[in-house]
């Protein structure tokens, strides 16, 4: 999209999980990620990378236990009765990758637009 990157450029994001108990060398992580993206032919060796940026998100994964399904269902029903709509990994208490988050956002926007039309 021209709204995301300048014309003739591309954007790539990578999601990498790691333990909070593990020290991560950010420069080494970027280097390994670029090498792996080249190996996967997402990038090419002669591509010029103009920006890298790391965002660390603590508590990024929902915990699945025996009480989760019932508790999440109760919370979602309560919130929906109060016109609070949930969308995304944190709000829905589910693991979702970036693509799933984008699709969930689009689906929620369509649902809400349909309700007001």
CA distances from 66 to 72, 78, 91 (A): 11, 20, 19
Q: What is the pLDDT along the chain (117 residues), one digit of tens a residue?
A: 677 788 888 888 888 888 888 888 999 999 999 999 999 999 999 999 999 999 988 876 777 889 988 998 999 999 989 989 888 877 888 888 878 888 888 998 998 889 887
* Cβ neighbours of residue 47 closer than 8 Å, sequence gap 6 or more: 38
pTM of the model: 0.58
- What DSSP line would sit under the chain, residue for residue? -TTTS-TT-----------TTS---HHHHHHHHHHHHHHTTSS-TTPPP--------TT-SPPP-TTHHHHHHHHHHHHHHTT----SHHHHTS---HHHHHHHHHHHHHHHHHHH-
pLDDT in the model for residue 74:
94
């Amino acid at each position: 999209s021209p709204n995301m990157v300048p014309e003739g450029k591309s954007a790539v994001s990578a999601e990498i999980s790691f333990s909070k108990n593990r020290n991560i060398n950010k420069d080494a992580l970027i280097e390994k990620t670029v090498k792996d993206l080249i190996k996967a032919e997402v990038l090419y060796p002669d591509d010029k990378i103009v920006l890298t940026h790391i965002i660390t998100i603590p508590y990024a994964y929902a915990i699945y236990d025996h009480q989760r399904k019932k508790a999440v269902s109760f919370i979602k029903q309560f919130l929906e009765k109060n016109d609070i709509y949930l969308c995304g990994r944190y709000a829905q208490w589910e693991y979702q990758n970036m693509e799933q988050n984008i699709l969930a956002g689009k689906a929620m926007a369509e649902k809400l637009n349909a309700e007001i039309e």
